[in-house]
Amino acid sequence: MSFQRRHFPKVQLILQTTYYFFNLNTPSVRLFVNQPATGLGEPLSITWQFCESIASVRRLSVQLVGTEWTRFREGTQDSFDTVEFYCADLFETDQQSGMAYRNIEIKIPSKTMHSFDASHNKIIWSIRFKGEIAFWPDVNDNFEIVVQPGNRIKETKNVV
């Protein structure tokens, strides 16, 4: 037992170092947007391009994700929690021809919360890329986008 306890941190360090080394050679994604911010219910054009060869990527999925981040105090320690309140599949394929480069238009749902950043709460919108690679660390890239409050037009009735 003492042998395992003494050497476990070394084995864990070796495995983590190996994983991170392999992860350096995982294809990465570049994301381009047509505007720096978008509003609720408004369209946003996104274009992605892989920087390296994607021959090893078996499946790619792209998602629009809304996450709430909360910091709270438990006794004398600060803790935090994250909850995904929105997740929509934007694109999914197992065909190599559609993975490397693509342009799509997305629409942020109008009946959700816009991006928000306060000391104890955040609403974070992101585009998430997940690519499955056999016997290798998977592609897992997130890109935060800014979502502003939408242009909600209030309907008023004319009283005569």
- For residue range 37-96, list pLDDT tens digits in order: 999 999 999 999 888 777 778 888 999 999 999 998 888 888 889 999 999 999 998 888
Among 6, 1, 115, which residue's Cα sits nearest to residue 67?
Answer: 115
The β-bridge partners of 87 are 65
Distance separating alpha carbons of residues 67 and 72, to the nearest angstrom? 16
Token reading at 13: 């360090």
For the chain, the domains span: 2-148
Tell me the one-letter amino acid at 41: G
CATH number of 2-148: 2.60.40.640
Handedness of CA 109, 145, 27, 134 (dihedral sign): negative
Tell me the one-letter amino acid at 110: S
pLDDT above 60: residue 5 = no
- For residue range 81-139, list pLDDT tens digits in order: 999 999 999 999 888 887 888 899 999 999 899 999 998 999 999 999 988 877 766 77
